[in-house]
């Protein structure tokens, strides 16, 4: 007996199969901010990328990446359903704007100075948040810490396009101090060719927050659940701990 399939039925089956295939892959918007995430040897790299790779291997969806400026990444993830964003710090001002899928890594923001700056040498031995009104600071454009810095009353806040520009402008005395993650400022400082000891650590800004895999509010809940289940697995089997140990 010969079985036949109507064009309508074949179209329906193809649509269902295509939906499953699409749902198994998540486009992630990211920017160049190693060691969180970035491009190394023309490949997506960084601690958050490594964690997402392991989520895929433990039953989660696969992830592809698009590198865009940070402010644009935050716009794109809201425009395109089913996409995600890294590295997104969870803060009160962002809370209602995103789906917070899983926490990936801890994050501590701090102030740093350039030790060889003649213009600001007097600040190096007396750097304190109590002097906020006297300090100009540089920060990455679109950073989650900007509202906090504004509340603290810093004299001025300069927003750099990327971390490389942020560091270079600090060295050129365009502002007094840099405000960035402890992990990022140290990594990028050495990458730019500066001696580690010339980066002077100042006070922390607020406590430790967590960087998340974030998404728009319309992110498919079933995919979010797949990711959370896979994350629970790599926490339980020690894989996550091993990744963090290599980077921190």
pLDDT at 22: 42
Q: CA 151 from chain center: how many Å? A: 23
Q: What is the pTM of this model?
A: 0.79
Q: Give burial (CB, 10 Å; 0-12/13-18/19+) of 145.
A: buried
Number of Cβ atoms within 10 Å of the Cβ of 98: 20
CB 149 within 8 A of CB 139: yes
Residues 6+ apart with CB under 8 A from 140: 33, 70, 159, 160, 162, 163, 166, 180
pLDDT of the chain along its 248 residues, tens only? Answer: 444 545 544 444 444 444 444 448 999 999 999 999 999 999 999 999 999 999 999 999 999 999 999 999 999 999 999 999 999 999 999 999 999 999 999 999 999 999 998 776 677 666 788 888 889 999 999 999 999 999 999 989 999 999 999 999 999 999 999 999 999 999 999 999 999 999 999 999 989 999 999 999 999 999 999 999 999 999 999 999 999 999 98
Cα→Cα distances 232→126, 137, 237, Å: 44, 38, 9
Rounded Cα–Cα distance for residues 89 and 38 (Å): 16
Token pair of 187 as six digits: 């990594």
Rounded Cα–Cα distance for residues 54 and 189 (Å): 28
Question: Cis omega (within 30 of 0) on the bond before 137?
Answer: no
Which domains are present in the chain? 25-106+209-247 (3.40.190.10), 109-204 (3.40.190.10)
Rounded Cα–Cα distance for residues 112 and 173 (Å): 13
Q: CA 239 from chain center: how many Å? A: 20
Rounded Cα–Cα distance for residues 226 and 131 (Å): 47
Q: CA 81 from chain center: how many Å? A: 19
Rounded to the nearest 10 degrees, what angle do helices 47-57 and 221-236 cross at? 100
Which region, left, alpha or beta, applies to residue 83 given φ > 0 means left and ψ of -120 to 50 means alpha? beta
């Amino acid at each position: 007996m010969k079985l036949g399939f109507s064009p309508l039925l074949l179209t329906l089956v193809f649509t269902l199969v295509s939906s499953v295939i699409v749902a198994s892959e998540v486009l992630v918007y990211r920017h160049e901010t190693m060691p969180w995430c970035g491009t190394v040897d023309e490949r997506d790299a960084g601690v958050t990328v490594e964690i997402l790779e392991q989520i895929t291997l433990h039953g989660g969806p696969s992830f592809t990446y698009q590198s865009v400026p940070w402010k644009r990444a935050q716009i794109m993830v809201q425009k395109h359903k089913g996409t995600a964003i890294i590295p997104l710090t969870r803060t009160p001002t962002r809370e209602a704007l995103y789906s917070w899928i899983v926490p990936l890594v801890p994050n501590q923001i701090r102030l740093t100075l350039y030790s060889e700056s003649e213009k600001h040498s007097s600040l190096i031995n007396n750097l304190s948040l109590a002097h906020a009104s006297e300090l100009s600071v540089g920060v990455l454009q679109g950073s989650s810490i900007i509202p906090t810095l504004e509340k603290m009353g810093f004299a001025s806040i300069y927003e750099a396009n990327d971390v490389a520009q942020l560091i270079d402008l600090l060295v050129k005395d365009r502002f007094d101090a840099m405000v960035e993650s402890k992990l990022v400022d140290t990594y990028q400082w050495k990458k730019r060719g500066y001696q580690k000891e010339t980066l002077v650590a100042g006070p922390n800004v607020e406590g430790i927050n967590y960087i998340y895999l974030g998404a728009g509010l319309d992110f498919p809940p079933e995919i979010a659940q797949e990711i959370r289940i896979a994350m629970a697995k790599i926490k339980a089997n020690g894989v996550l701990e091993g990744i963090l140990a290599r980077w921190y």
